[in-house]
């Protein structure tokens, strides 16, 4: 796995930001995804994003056409990212304390993936809309956007 010390500008995309861009038309989220830097995310992001799109369709927030377009956008986004697996190393880190507890399991997987990726927190920016992720990212020393 490539470590953050090997890259100039790593930008970890957490699912809430991706869904804000896709489902809410959040222009700030869309701008964040277009900025310079290497986009990285967990494989978990795609399971959560697809689930979010399907749920939005089932609750009638999206039409069938919008659902199809959103799922296509998720696939396109995946091709633009370095996708990190949920490894044993990530799962071990999930079981350790975070600066701001309690942390939900899926959020902990995102934070642990970032921790495994970045030896030096100042080299990684976390892109998120989730306040719990933000609080923990700041507590660890990551920049947030």
Report if residue 106 sits inside a domain. yes
Report if residue 110 sits inside a domain. yes
> Residues 34-62: pLDDT tens digits?
998 999 999 999 999 999 999 999 999 99
Report if residue 118 sits inside a domain. yes
Closest CA to 122 of 140, 101, 97: 140
Report if residue 135 sits inside a domain. yes
CATH number at residue 107: 3.40.50
Report if residue 127 sits inside a domain. yes
- The structure's pTM equals 0.91
- Number of domains forming the structure of the chain: 1
Euclidean distance between CA atoms 94 and 136, whole angstroms: 13
């Amino acid at each position: 796995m490539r470590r953050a010390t090997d890259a100039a500008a790593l930008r970890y995309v957490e699912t809430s930001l991706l869904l804000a861009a896709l489902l809410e038309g959040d222009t700030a989220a869309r701008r964040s995804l277009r900025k310079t830097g290497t986009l990285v995310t967990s494989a978990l992001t795609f399971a959560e994003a697809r689930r979010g799109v399907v749920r939005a369709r089932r609750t009638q927030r999206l039409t069938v056409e919008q659902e199809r377009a959103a799922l296509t956008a998720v696939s396109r986004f995946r091709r633009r990212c370095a996708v990190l697996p949920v490894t044993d190393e990530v799962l071990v880190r999930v079981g350790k304390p975070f600066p701001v507890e309690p942390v939900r399991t899926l959020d902990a997987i995102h934070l642990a993936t970032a921790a495994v990726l970045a030896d030096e927190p100042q080299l990684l920016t976390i892109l998120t809309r989730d306040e719990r992720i933000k609080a923990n990212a700041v507590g660890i020393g990551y920049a947030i956007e």
